[in-house]
A and B are shown apart, each in its own frame.
Chain A
Amino acid sequence: MMRNVLPILTVVATLFALWYGAAVALNAPWARDQAARAGQELGFGAMVAETWSQEKPKLPAPHQVAAEIWKTTGAMVLAGRGFSKRSLFYHSWITFSATALGFLLGTALGVALAIGIVYNRTMDMSVMPWVIASQTIPILAIAPMIIVVLNAVGISGLLPKAMISMYLSFFPVVVGMVKGLRSPSAMQLDQMRTWNATPSQTFWRLRLPSSMPYLFTSLKVGMAASLVGAIVGELPTGAVAGLGARLLAGSYYGQTIQIWSALITAATLAAALVGLIGLVQRITLKRMGMV
């Protein structure tokens, strides 16, 4: 146990040290400026303390971000307003709901396309180039258009954001599932043929179970992509809720601490969701005897 913990702690400590150091370096000019304007002379200790406690630092120090996160999560829960519109729980929930819906839609689309590609020669020849082309267009260019177009037909709120998540998350699922559905060996497919199995029997009993390890790997990538999609989807709408909206509002008003706390919350959410899939993967594959 200790042998695993020690290297991790070392890395974390190094990161924090670098972070604090960078905060000093980046925030020092402003601190000196302020001091000069007030006609004061800053000693080293005072300067360091100042760079770690500015209201709008270029780079907030970790404890400032932590305090902000606590203020908008735990402290609000203690005050009985854990789900108020100012809490990060509320914003995380908004982003999570778009992420989850987009992830489900993207997975469904990805699996459907993969089945088409594996079973239909025409689709095999024609679909993949489009799938790849779709991912070469920057999402930041596509996202506003999706939102504007859907708004024009009266769809707003959750669905447009979920569509952007879907747009990003179907790709790893298609690629992984095509590989997974094609993973049975020639011998296993011949075996099915000797039993005169129908294509659908071969699919449900051989191809689909064989593809599970590939599916889970794709789902992890897809989930992370979905979250990015949901956040990006919250930017152009000028949305008032969601982690993306917090990022946007923070950058309007130069609230760097708020930006960083939204970023860290997004990263935590991503880690939790990907970890959850990893857990389901371990349990499923173990039960299937595939690990």
Chain B
Amino acid sequence: MTKNTVISATDLSLTFQTNDGPVHALKDVSLNVEKGDFVSFIGPSGCGKTTFLRVMADLEQQTAGAITVNGVSPEEARRSRAYGYVFQAAGLYPWRTIGGNVRLPLEIMGYDKSDQDARVKRVLELVDLAGFEKKFPWQLSGGMQQRASIARALAFDADILLMDEPFGALDEIVRDHLNEQLLHLWNRTDKTICFVTHSIPEAVYLSTKIVVMSPRPGRITDVIESPLPRDRPLDIRDTAEFLEVAHRVREGLRAGHGDAV
């Protein structure tokens, strides 16, 4: 762990007690995420990706092991508003405009009015939604709503972005476009991003680090440092380098699956 380590998990375990007995959602997970990393978590459903992200966000507490976020406990990090969390569903409030939705966390955090206005305008531009401030969520497509929810997570000064399959419900074309924009955004800001996905190309295209996970118990089976440059046009996905990383991820997933059976 260096002074640039943003998230550090050591032998992290989380067991849910259910009526059908204990579920080992995470077992002895260790991982360091450095400042500016774009980390993707990939693996079959039930391997603990969401749970891991929720532990980072202090929405769930580990049952063993340790984790720090920005050098402090997840709870302290949450209280100091260290991260923005993007859920799978956009979850915009129907009674607020797009601008009002993006403004919501700013109101809660007590930013002053003129600062709120400036920030709403800036992040809506950042996600290509300038001019939609006064529209209501139902007037926007699913992809635009999801972009608004990303803007909402970017509006306040959190340098960590936790995203749980934010594009999972969108079609491929919209998804490609949003991936490109997200990379662009990450490049321009200095955020550290943890990103859960089901898709191998998405993980490889976006990440500097790919964490391959496997279920029962939920654990990390491989961590792949991507050799791809930070600047990535969409067509990088046709290069040999890209395919090689994708191949390694696929192998990792297969191996994880193999020893589970």
**A interface, CB within 8 angstroms of B:** 185, 187-188, 190-197, 201, 205-206, 209, 287-290
With A188-B91, A191-B91 known to touch, is A197 a contact of B108 (CB < 8 Å)? yes
Nearest CB in chain B: distance from A195 CB, A: 5
Given A192-B108, A194-B78, A289-B138; 15 other pairs, CB 8 A cutoff = A187-B89, A190-B87, A191-B87, A191-B91, A193-B59, A194-B59, A194-B84, A196-B81, A197-B108, A201-B108, A287-B95, A289-B94, A289-B95, A289-B136, A290-B94
B137 CB-CB contact with A under 8 Å: yes
Q: Do A187 and B91 touch across chains, with their CB atoms under 8 A apart?
A: yes
B167 CB-CB contact with A under 8 Å: no
Contact flags (1/0) for B41-61 with A, using CB distance below 8 Å? 000000000000000011100
**B interface, CB within 8 angstroms of A:** 57-59, 78-79, 81, 83-85, 87, 89, 91, 93-95, 104-105, 107-109, 136-138, 156
* Top-7 shortest CB links A-B: A288-B95, A289-B94, A194-B85, A195-B105, A197-B108, A195-B108, A289-B136
* CB-contact partner of A191 in B85, B95, B107, under 8 A: B85
Q: Do B89 and A190 touch across chains, with their CB atoms under 8 A apart?
A: no
CB-nearest residue of chain A relative to B84? A194
CB-nearest residue of chain B relative to A186? B59
* CB-contact partner of B104 in A187, A205, A288, A289, under 8 A: A205
CB-nearest residue of chain A relative to B60? A190
Complex Cα gap A271–B138 (Å): 33
Q: For chain A, what secondary structure do more than half of its interface residues adopt (helix, strand, loop), or is it mixed?
A: helix
Q: Do A187 and B87 touch across chains, with their CB atoms under 8 A apart?
A: yes
Nearest CB in chain B: distance from A42 CB, A: 67
Task: Note all chain B residues with C-beta closer than 8 A to A289.
Answer: 94-95, 136-138
A-B contact pairs, 10 of them (CB 8 A): A187-B89, A191-B91, A193-B78, A194-B78, A194-B85, A195-B105, A195-B156, A196-B108, A205-B107, A205-B108
Task: Note all chain A residues with C-beta closer than 8 A to B109.
Answer: 195-196
* CB-contact partner of B59 in A185, A190, A287, under 8 A: A190
Task: Note all chain A residues with C-beta closer than 8 A to B136.
Answer: 289
Nearest CB in chain A: distance from B139 CB, A: 9
CB-nearest residue of chain B relative to A191? B91
Task: Note all chain A residues with C-beta closer than 8 A to B79.
Answer: 196
CB-nearest residue of chain A relative to B89? A187
Nearest CB in chain B: distance from A2 CB, A: 33
Task: Note all chain B residues with C-beta closer than 8 A to A188.
Answer: 91
With A194-B78, A195-B108 known to touch, is A209 a contact of B91 (CB < 8 Å)? no
CB-nearest residue of chain A relative to B164? A187
Complex Cα gap A193–B54 (Å): 11
Q: Do A196 and B78 touch across chains, with their CB atoms under 8 A apart?
A: yes
Task: Note all chain B residues with C-beta closer than 8 A to A201.
Answer: 108
Nearest CB in chain B: distance from A41 CB, A: 73
Interface core residue of A187, A191, A287, A290 (most chain B CB under 10 Å): A191
Complex Cα gap A287–B97 (Å): 11
Complex Cα gap A190–B109 (Å): 16
Task: Note all chain A residues with C-beta closer than 8 A to B104.
Answer: 195, 205
CB-nearest residue of chain A relative to B138? A289
Complex Cα gap A45–B104 (Å): 75
Complex Cα gap A197–B81 (Å): 10
